[in-house]
Structure 1
Amino acid sequence: MKPIIQIKNISEINNFVKGVTKHPLVAVVDFSKMDELIDEDVRISCDFYSIMFKNYCTNHMRYGRQSYDFQDGSLICIAPKQVLTMDSEVEKKKDMIGWGLFFHPDLVRGTTLGVKMKDYTFFSYEISEALHLSEKEQQTLVDCVMKIQSELEENIDNHSQNLIVSNIEVLLNYCSRYYGRQFITRKSSNRDITSKVEQVLRNYFNSNDLKEKGLPSVVDLAEKVNLSANYLSDLLKKETGMNAKDQIHHFLIEEAKNILLGSNKNISEIAYELGFEYPQYFSKLFKQKTGNTPQEFRSLN
């Protein structure tokens, strides 16, 4: 396996792509020329945020455990410290367009965007959950990138950071909109995933796994349907109004209600049966979700 190339700052990414550093914390790179620069498979990990678009295909890219054909019109967003593997083979085509926007967390630290970064959950999606853009959407993002590029061409002054950060925020907000559109246009496949999630949870709660392993985590659930935790939560939220954690809790509460009304077991016994180490945690969650304690629910019904 190839060693990982650690790219710690913007100057190093510019050196890697033979570009010129115009700002210490942000860079825009022309990716359509990357095939001239990569002559072997590489594994890269960056200490900054990466947003990359291509309208042409490389044979394979791997991000985390996933392998993916980087299709026409695909955009991926990668958080710091993630490992991206790229091979050197590129499918040639006319009018190749590709760009990368890279910005260090220090650029947005202390800004309103810095506070919001955690809300852009698509930075933690797998590469197989890339955003597929229409031509109009592609142009909108290109316009944002060009504004950032234009600002980088200017001399750095007191307004530079605010203008660059503002344009990055606009670009990220468009990405959020387009991912929302993608969830809608993929409703059929999303419903299949929703049904599979429900079946996985149903099987889990009908087995001994709950008592032996406790509640399944969002990561566990996502792995069962071959998605990242954030992508699954966002997909379920769009489809059902409940994220992955809410779905798990919904099945738990329904199972708890069945046991409360179908047996004489005390609250501690039920809590242990449902995988809780401490009964008070079960009671607190049950009241949070139903408005009543387990004992009150049993008495009222």
Structure 2
Amino acid sequence: MKPVINIKTISDINKFVQHKTKHPLVTIIDFSKMDEVMEDGIRISCDFYSVMFKNYCANNMRYGRQSYDFQEGSLVCIAPKQVVTMDNEIEKKEDMMGWGLFFHPDLLLGTSLGSKMKEYTFFSYETSEALHLSDKEKETLYDCIEKIETELQENIDHYSQTLIVSNIELLLNYCQRYYGRQFITRKGSNRTIVEKVADVLTNYFNSNELNKNGLPSVTYLAEKVNLSPNYLSDLLKKETGMNAKDTIHYYLIEEAKRILLGTNKSISEIAYELGFEYPQYFSKLFKQKTGNTPQEFRNLK
């Protein structure tokens, strides 16, 4: 396996693709104007955010464990410090189409977008969970890119950061909307995933896994259905109204109710059986989810 190339600054990535630096904290790269195709198997980690749109299917990328063949009109967003592997078939230069927006977290310091970035959970999706765009959606995003590019052509002044960041925020808000649309249009396959999640959690709570390994994590659940934790959580929220953590807690509380009403075990015994190190944490969660303490719920029967 090849070592990871860490690209620290916007100037570094511009040098990497032989692109002129117009602003130290943000750049837009037109992939059709790149002189060379990246080496096969190259592994890259950047210290900044990447939003990449590819309008062809020759290129293959891997992010984490997943691989993804870019279909026509697909967009992927990658957070800083994530490792991306380029698995390239040799491409003809004329086949390379698309754009990349790269911006450093320092650009967002002191802005409202800086405090909102954690809300854009798609930056932690796998590339296999890329956003597939309609022609109209492509045009809308490209309009944002053109506005940013126009601003990059200007001399940096007091208004530069505000105008660039506001257009990046607009682009990310559109991405959030389009992901919401994608969850809806893929409702059939999403329901299959919801059913898989139900099966995984039911089997987990019906086996001795709880005693051996404690409460299942969101990461564990995501791995079982071959999705990233954030994508799974957002999918479940759209389909069921509960994110991944809430879904795990739902099955936990249902199991707790079963034990409370079906046995004479003490609250502490039940808490330990359910994987809690401290019984008071179990009681607090149970009351939060049901409105009653475990003992109050038991007394209701």
- Which bracket does the TM-score occupy, shorter chain normalised? over 0.9
Instruction: State the match for 1:172 in structure 2.
Output: 172
Aligned pairs for 1:243-254 within 5 A: 243-254=243-254
% of aligned pairs identical? Answer: 77
Q: Which amino acid aligns with 2:42?
A: V
Aligned length: 301
Question: Aligned residue for 2:193?
Answer: 193
The one-letter code matched in structure 2 to 1:214 is: G
Aligned to 1:158: 158
Q: Which runs of 5+ in 2 are unaligned?
A: none
Q: Deviations over 1:151-183 (max 9, x none)?
A: 000000000000000000000000000000000
Return the alpha-carbon distance in structure 2 between the equivalents of residues 200 and 120 of structure 1. 27
CA distance change for structure 1 residues 87 and 34 in 2, over 3 Å: closer, same or farther?
farther
Gaps of 5+ in 1: none
User: What amino acid maps onto 2:172 in structure 1?
Assistant: L
Equivalent residues of 1:57, 1:90 under 8 A apart:
no
- Does the 8 Å contact 1:32/1:54 carry over to 2? no
Residue 189 (structure 1) shift? 0.1
Residue number in structure 1 paired with 2:33: 33
Q: Is the 8 A contact 2:32 2:93 kept in 1?
A: no
- In structure 2, the residue matched to 1:103 is 103
Which residues in structure 2 correspond to 1:122-141 (within 5 Å)?
122-141=122-141
* Deviation of the 1:89 alpha carbon: 2.6
Kindly provide the CA deviation profile for residues 23-70 of structure 1, in whole angstroms up to 9, marking residues without a partner as x. Answer: 000000001234734244321110000000011123421111111112
Q: TM-score, normalised by structure 1?
A: 0.97
1:285 corresponds to: 285
Post-superposition offset of 1:279 = 0.7
Matched AA of 1:252 = L
CA–CA separation in structure 2 for the residues paired with 1:241 and 1:235? 9
TM-score computed with the length of structure 2 as normaliser:
0.97
Give distance in 2, aligned partners of 1:294 and 1:39.
59
Q: Summarize the alignment of residues 198-213 of structure 1 with structure 2, pairs less than 5 Å apart.
A: 198-213=198-213
**Separation in 1, partners of 2:207, 2:35:** 51
Structure 1 residue ranges, 4+ long, deviating more than 4 angstroms after superposition: 90-96
Q: Cα offset for 1:95?
A: 7.8
- Please say if residues 73 and 132 of structure 2, whose CA atoms lie closer than 8 Å, have aligned partners that are also in contact: yes
Equivalent residues in 2 for 1:233-272, closer than 5 Å: 233-272=233-272
Q: Match for residue 214 of structure 2?
A: 214
Superposed CA offset, 1:58-116 (max 9, x none): 34211111111121111000000011111343555978531000000000022100000
